Amino acid sequence: MDDELSINIASAALICGFFALWEVLCLLLGVSDLILPRPSDIVATLIDRFPVLWPHILQTLYTTLVGFALGVGIGVAIGVLIGVSRIAYGVAYPLLVGFSSIPKVAVVPIFVLWFGSGTTPAILTAMVICVFPIVVNIATGLATTEPELEDVLKSLGASRRQILWNVGLPRTMPYFFASLKVAITLSFVGAVLSETVASNRGIGNVMMSASSNFDVSLVFAGLMILAALGVALYVVFSMLERRVTGWATRKNDFAVT
Amino acid sequence: MDDELSINIASAALICGFFALWEVLCLLLGVSDLILPRPSDIVATLIDRFPVLWPHILQTLYTTLVGFALGVGIGVAIGVLIGVSRIAYGVAYPLLVGFSSIPKVAVVPIFVLWFGSGTTPAILTAMVICVFPIVVNIATGLATTEPELEDVLKSLGASRRQILWNVGLPRTMPYFFASLKVAITLSFVGAVLSETVASNRGIGNVMMSASSNFDVSLVFAGLMILAALGVALYVVFSMLERRVTGWATRKNDFAVT
Amino acid sequence: AQDLTPVRFTLGWKTQGSDAPFLLALSKGYFREEGLDVTIDQGEGSAATVTRIMGGAYDAGFGDINAIIQNAAARPGEAPVMVYQLWNRPPFAIVVPKSTGIETVADFEGRTLGGAQGTPTTRMWEVFAKRNGIDMSKVAIENMAPNLQEPMMIRGQIDGAFVFNITSWFNLLANRQDPAADYNWFSFEDYGMDLYSNGMMVSRAMLAEKPEVVAGLVRAVNRATLEVAQDQDAAVEAIVAFDNLVNVDIERQRLVFSLTNLMNAPEGATLGMGDLDDERLTRSIGIVAEGYGLERAPEASEIFDRSFLPPLEDRKLTVAIN
Amino acid sequence: MTVQRPIDAAQPGVDAVTTRAPKAVKLENVSVVFGRGEKAVTALAPTTLDLEKGAFLALVGPSGCGKSTILKLVSNLLAPSSGVVIVGGKEAKAKALKVGMAFQNPTMLPWLSIERNVMLPLKIVPPYCHRFRAERKGEFRDRVHALLDKVGLTGFGDHFPWQLSGGMLQRASLCRALIHEPDLLLLDEPFGALDQFTREELWAILQDLYLDRRPSVILVTHDLREAGFLASRICVMSPRPGKIISDRAVDIPRPRDIGLIYQPAFVEMTQELRALIAQVRK
Amino acid sequence: MTVQRPIDAAQPGVDAVTTRAPKAVKLENVSVVFGRGEKAVTALAPTTLDLEKGAFLALVGPSGCGKSTILKLVSNLLAPSSGVVIVGGKEAKAKALKVGMAFQNPTMLPWLSIERNVMLPLKIVPPYCHRFRAERKGEFRDRVHALLDKVGLTGFGDHFPWQLSGGMLQRASLCRALIHEPDLLLLDEPFGALDQFTREELWAILQDLYLDRRPSVILVTHDLREAGFLASRICVMSPRPGKIISDRAVDIPRPRDIGLIYQPAFVEMTQELRALIAQVRK
Ligand SMILES: Nc1ncnc2c1ncn2[C@@H]1O[C@H](COP(=O)(O)OP(=O)(O)OP(=O)(O)O)[C@@H](O)[C@H]1O
Ligand SMILES: Nc1ncnc2c1ncn2[C@@H]1O[C@H](COP(=O)(O)OP(=O)(O)OP(=O)(O)O)[C@@H](O)[C@H]1O
Ligand SMILES: [Mg+2]
Ligand SMILES: [Mg+2]
């Protein structure tokens, strides 16, 4: 669609504009590169150090994705439980809310003490940090499912499991995908957090050692990499989302008619 | 309702059971209190140190709530923008996802350098950390609003703003409240994070100094306080949610019929 | 390779030049020669080394003796034991920009100092103030993360900072400052607080169950330490082999700094590398107990065990910078 | 041609044929009250109703009298506030009969195409559900398309619900109620949004199907001719809170022809019913 | 009594009265196509239609022919694929007229009570919207309740939409279309889910309202008697893709009495229409 294309171009232009503004403001206000380096600096560093950074990127991507996958699985399971059972709602919600209000920085050292440093605590942190948003959205989606839709299956004598599979979960997909966007960014944060505390590899470790050397542009290069990875995964989920929840966003199809 | 009551009792019992299990496991496995103190230890510390902790609790609650309120305002604004405008969707989403994939630990020092240590960076951190989940859920809620509902107002010649106020936003409330639950926990994490980096007050500061004293049970007392504050605010929002989005969860009313 | 004993070892912080002894011993296979399969992980602070070992995740590590004292006081028989003291002089210092006009410790009054909570420098401030007649109530202390101290000092948000000189010196360099010309350094050792600091410590369990492993560790580290003092090129090579992200120039300088400013105490000539003076240790235990408000002052023997040290003639450190 | 018997709702009229037949549905003194206290709304006053196996019952009555409520009771979407609902000899929740239901509002699952929506019962109800995976692109698909063709929805199988007009949705919903050849068919105004011709075509189709498989049927309708043409029994309900105030048999032999509705006797029957309803409205 | 004029859809029949009157609605060669390429569905073939100010037009036709589509075009919920839609002398999106619309599916906002739902137009449409805050608990509330009383929903103002039966919802939806006294009334099968008596009552109410304020009305219906009783003009559409194939005036003087529908002339007219529709279905 021509319309689609021009919107994409406009978006890309505005995003470039954002970085240009950053660059120009830094130059004009004379912001020290020790506080906030200019994008051009960061990109230069990125290109320069890329060969060294590459294995760390892979490591972080790996721990994040594994943790995220586990987190999604657990999140969906708990979310379904909470959405379906009143008791689970009363028990699991307060515990989860309490646990989520705790900064994960405080939890990572415990993981390290139990599992040693490195990949395992990073995966665990990425996992625990992303469970809650998924649980909340799945549970809300299930709780707000229109009874009329469930009645269609109930009248056929469907079991609760069948109703869940055929009505509850499909209906909850828009909620689920919304939570995935939040969860994936949190997973990155979690994995990196754990790496800064205890790991010899990963972007978190790079950023920590860079920041302890005041190599600020390398720190920001790390941040850029994280941002880019986050956006890349977001794009993947968006495409999936468009396929799966197209029925719920049909409004947009007609905005251009 | 009797039913309601018995479910509440069962939930409370299970939550108590969780702590009892923790206590017993620690005793049985002989887990060092350096790694994971027993709940009884933690509660003892909490009671013992409460007078000292009190002003810190107030400080953290204050920064969290102010940051959260600002974050909700900004989040709703951006969410509406994204939900309404295709260009905003294309521009703001990638930027936000990128920014959210960045651990906030890396951002706090910049706030501290700009605004000095203490309350301001804590509020700012609590704010920026909770914006994204709200944006995502508001935008998803708006995007999935049934066109039929909007048609009711459109046929009356309502402006886009009127449609937003009378259909889009009310319809999005279940999404909004789901995101509030996530956002408030993140706000706590953000405020505490900032306090651990640079502040003389707040639970984060207490936990930092406790951990440097190897006073693990005080660290966990801090975590408990955070969890309790999180749960308390969650309860407040839940009550609000029940009032505001009761129409969307009517299913549950009949589960007990 | 099957009969190698696995040892989990934690550094005090991210890879730094001053870790060279351990990394060289690793890369040159000195541990292996002692029958040890050592895995080295980066750390979260030289005090956390103690917790990591007490928690059982690590057998040995490079960390702060003062943290051992602290833990030994509360949990006798659990805290790790120092078996090879590396930094005989304390890196603890207060640094102030000359532009603040602070020339003597008395000038601190009425100023704001920044400190990272729980670092020995910050914690010892009380004792420091007492010993040097400073009215503590007139000095404002602001808590902040370590890597914020120098930037905030440069921006004038604080007047000085409680630091480790080996860290802060290079942080200032990285911030394009001249640490020698533009800053005044108040080193704790010059103000009546001649504390010990980092060294290699091992867990109680390993000490009790595998003394031969401890002996092997000490031998290997001692050998590498002496070599590092002679040949920094090899040391830097070992560092890069472990972590290719480090800034080679800075870490080399940091290594030299540790050799010339931290490891060359006058007593070294008589005691040799790795050993320490019990009297001085007892004195410093007193300081720590006072500074941290410990319930009891542990015995020196609870903190340090010299029984694994090689003979004195094998521990003669001669520093040659190349 | 017809016999009107004003009856006591608590002891519904029972003619010679019906007493002997086994019951598909039995409502015994069933009432439904929504809410509690001051705000309580009685949706259904205590009602007793039997449906013989293989009977075709039409339920007529003013808007809001509780017709949909009765269907929801029978399909166990609603629990009675008092009384018992027996379906196929067991309590309604036991699901002893294969039920097919067309809702008043033709609710389609919005994420499924019309074809998949109509296929739903085959996915859920035994014995079809066991073969569902194997057949959903084979036999079952053909079956769905054949049914869609019958109701005039050829080619709309891969459309989504929001792409259909109101009447088309209603026809799709009817297909969903029929696809699994239910023993008990509950139809809540299934032809309300259709024009007269489409409606009459579907009457004929429904009658064929009824004659073919003899399910028990409850049809809610506002169209007295529809009730007369299709049903073997017509129950009339009073205004809210409704109960059954008339229960009459329609003894016209089947198959019935559409021309029937213009015959004087038939017109007379509908007029009678009309008069009865007019009377109870006051 | 009536004049049937088979007409060319591109040049709809125009009688003496209608040419002189100003137009409330003008569709000029308007067509609607959904989707593109192979999957394109023509919902409305090129159609031309005029509605004089103050006229009452009934639109009948088979299911899926595009009746709802025409209403959506006029209320600017849909943009035409070709042609122009003029409402009140301007393009439809200019909203030159105060429009009241009752949807085929009586969509209520589920978070508002019936009272608040019905009150919605008063919140949106000038001049009411300016007084909304002041009056929503005063005059406007009384007005809503008076209207709800008229359609038989007394006491249901504080209920929520899901607490109403299908027919009750439809009546509430009608109230929402009427509450702000629109100039142009678009009614999409507003009585489909109602029993005959309620329906006839509402016919009378609607006729009173029409005579009182003379809005322009387009009524979509499947009930030919309803069309004949209410409308001053009846347009018949062909099956999908629909276009208007007959446009006839109903010259019965108003106010019309409900007894009218049993008069032979009226019955004859409906029979004629019926025959016409039967013919175009083939
Ligand atoms: N969930 C509910 N909560 C409260 N009241 C309800 C609920 N559902 C239905 N009612 C009430 O029950 C009564 C009967 O509703 P029902 O849907 O059975 O009517 P109906 O006979 O099907 O009417 P219609 O012909 O208009 O569809 C109505 O007065 C309605 O207000
Ligand atoms: N959003 C859509 N996308 C694709 N096709 C559509 C859409 N909306 C309607 N249609 C098609 O347009 C045609 C006309 O629909 P419309 O709703 O106008 O019919 P109608 O005359 O109102 O029928 P009914 O009497 O059944 O309500 C139908 O064939 C339908 O399939
Ligand atoms: Mg009904
Ligand atoms: Mg329609």
Residue E231 belongs to domain with CATH number: 3.40.50.300
Considering only CB atoms, B249 lies closest to which of A143, A179, A234, namely A143
When mean pLDDT is compared across A248-257, C42-51, C177-186, E137-146, the lowest value belongs to A248-257
Q: State the pLDDT confidence band at C279, using cuts at 50, 70 and 90.
A: very high
pLDDT at position B253 over 50: no
pLDDT of residue C185: 95
Determine the pLDDT at residue A52: 86
Report pLDDT for A201: 86
Higher pLDDT, A38 or D12: A38
B214/C74 Cβ within 8 A:
yes
* A199: CB partners within 8 A, 6+ apart: A59, A117, A118, A119, A121, A122, A205, C41, C42
Closest residue to atom 28 of ligand 2, CA basis:
E64
Predicted local confidence at residue B44, as pLDDT: 92
C89: closest CA of chain A, how far (Å): 22
Q: Say if CB D41 and CB D34 are below 8 A apart.
A: yes
Residue A238 CA: distances (Å) to CA of A233, A234, A248, B178? 8, 6, 14, 20
Give the one of A116, A208, A209 whose C-beta lies nearest to C57's C-beta: A116
Q: What pLDDT score does A209 carry? A: 81
Mean pLDDT of E10-29: 61
**Residue from E158, E164, E170, E194 to probe ligand 1 pocket by mutation (most atoms less than 8 Å from CB):** E164
Number of domains in chain E: 1
Complete DSSP assignment for D177-197: HHTT--SEEEEESTTTTS-HH
Q: Which of B25, B91, B101 to mutate to test the interface with A (most CBs of A within 10 A)?
A: B101
What is the D44 CA–ligand 1 centroid distance (Å)? 9
CB pairs under 8 A between A and D: 59
Output B149 or B8, whichever has higher pLDDT: B149
Query: Is the pLDDT score of A257 beyond 80?
Result: no
Q: Using 50, 70 and 90 to split pLDDT, how confident is the model at E241?
A: confident
Candidates B154, B162, B247; nearest CB to E110:
B247
CB contact under 8 A, E192 and D193: yes
Q: Which ligand is nearest to the CA of D59?
A: 1
Q: Who contacts C25 (Cβ-Cβ below 8 Å, separation ≥6)? A: C31, C38, C220, C221, C223, C224
Q: What is the pLDDT along chain D (282 residues), one digit of tens a residue?
A: 343 443 333 333 333 344 556 788 999 999 999 887 777 888 898 989 999 999 999 999 888 889 999 999 999 999 999 999 998 888 877 778 899 999 999 999 999 999 999 999 999 988 888 888 888 888 899 999 999 999 999 989 999 999 999 999 999 999 999 999 999 999 999 998 898 888 999 999 999 999 998 999 999 999 998 999 999 999 999 887 888 888 989 888 888 888 888 888 888 888 888 888 888 777
Q: Which of the other chains make 3 or more beta carbon contacts under 8 angstroms with chain A?
A: B, C, D, E
pLDDT tens digits, one per residue of B184-239: 999 999 999 999 888 888 998 888 888 877 788 898 999 999 999 999 998 898 88
Average pLDDT of the residues in A119-148? 92
Give residue D113's pLDDT: 93
pLDDT one-digit tens code per residue, C39-93: 998 888 888 899 889 888 899 999 999 999 988 998 888 899 999 999 999 999 9
Angle at CA C100, nearest 5°, toward C99 and C104?
A: 115
What is the tens place of the pLDDT at every residue in C165-193? Answer: 999 999 898 888 999 999 999 999 999 88
Q: Measured between CB atoms, which of B11, B105, B231 is closest to A87? A: B11
**Region for residue A213 given its phi and psi (left: phi exceeds 0; alpha: psi -120 to 50; beta: otherwise):** alpha
Question: Whole domain around residue E257: which residue ranges?
Answer: 2-281
Pocket of ligand 2 (CB under 6 A): D 162-168, 193; E 34-35, 41, 43, 63-69, 104, 240
Cβ contact, residue pair B15, A211, below 8 Å: no
Q: Looking at the complex, does the CB of residue E4 fall below 8 Å from at least one CB of chain D? A: no
Q: Is the pLDDT of residue B1 over 60?
A: no
For residue A199, the model assigns a pLDDT of: 78
Cβ atoms of B158 and B166 within 8 Å: the answer is yes
Q: Are E148 and E175 in contact (CB under 8 A)?
A: yes
Chain E residues in contact with D199 (beta carbon < 8 A)? 222
Residue, of A41 and C2, whose pLDDT is higher: A41
**What is the side-by-side strand order in the sheet with C5-10?**
C36-41, C5-10, C60-64, C198-202, C81-85
Contact D191/D226 with Cβ under 8 angstroms? yes
* CA dist list (Å): A94 to A182, B191, E179: 20, 20, 47
Average pLDDT rounded to a whole number, residues B252-257: 38
User: For E66-94, how does the pLDDT look when each residue is reduced to its tens digit (9 = 90+)?
Assistant: 999 999 999 999 999 999 999 888 887 77
Tokens of D81: 């506030």
- pTM of the model as a whole: 0.89
Nearest CA in chain E to B151: E77
**pLDDT greater than 50 at residue E1:** no
E:91-150 residues touching chain A, CB 8 A cutoff: none
- The pLDDT, as a whole number, for residue E145 is 94
Residues with CB under 6 A from ligand 1: D 34-35, 41, 43, 63-69, 104, 240; E 162-168, 193
E198 inside 8 A of chain D by CB: yes
Q: What is the DSSP letter of C77?
A: T
Q: Chain B: nearest CA to C231, how far in angstroms?
A: 36
Our mutation pick for probing the ligand 2 site, out of E41, E189, E191, counting the most ligand atoms within 8 A of Cβ, is: E41
Round the CA-based radius of gyration of chain E to a whole number and report it.
19
D280 burial class (0-12, 13-18, 19+ CB within 10 angstroms)?
middle
CA of D64 to the centre of ligand 3 (A): 7
Structure tokens at B205: 């500061």
Atom of ligand 1 nearest to the CA of D32: 12
Say if D74 is an interface residue toward chain A (CB within 8 Å). no
Distance in Å, alpha carbon of E34 to nearest chain A alpha carbon: 9
The pLDDT of residue A87 is 83
Query: CA B26, B28, B31, B37 torsion: positive or negative?
Result: positive
Q: Find the E174 Cα to ligand 2 centroid distance in Å.
A: 21
pLDDT at A32: 80
Quick one: which of A145, A158, A154 has its CA closest to D123? A158
Q: Which of A125, A122, A130 shows the shortest CA–CA distance to A198?
A: A122
**Does the beta carbon of E163 lie under 8 angstroms from any beta carbon of chain D?**
yes
Residues found in chain E: 282
Residue A234 has pLDDT above 80, yes or no: yes
pLDDT score at A112: 79
Give the model's confidence band at E19: pLDDT under 50 very low, under 70 low, under 90 confident, else very high.
low
C-beta separation of E2 from E260 below 8 A? no
**Does residue B251 register a pLDDT over 70?**
no
Residue E12's pLDDT is 39
Distance from the CA of E196 to the center of ligand 3, in angstroms?
14
Please name the member of D77, D100, D111 whose beta carbon is closest to the beta carbon of A154.
D77
Q: How confident is the model at residue A168 (pLDDT cuts 50, 70, 90)?
A: very high
Please choose, from the candidates B149, B139, B137, B146, the residue with its C-alpha nearest in 3D space to the C-alpha of residue B174: B137
Rounded to an integer, the average pLDDT of C82-105 is 93
Q: Tell me the pLDDT of chain C averaged across its residues.
A: 90
Q: What is the pLDDT of residue A72?
A: 96
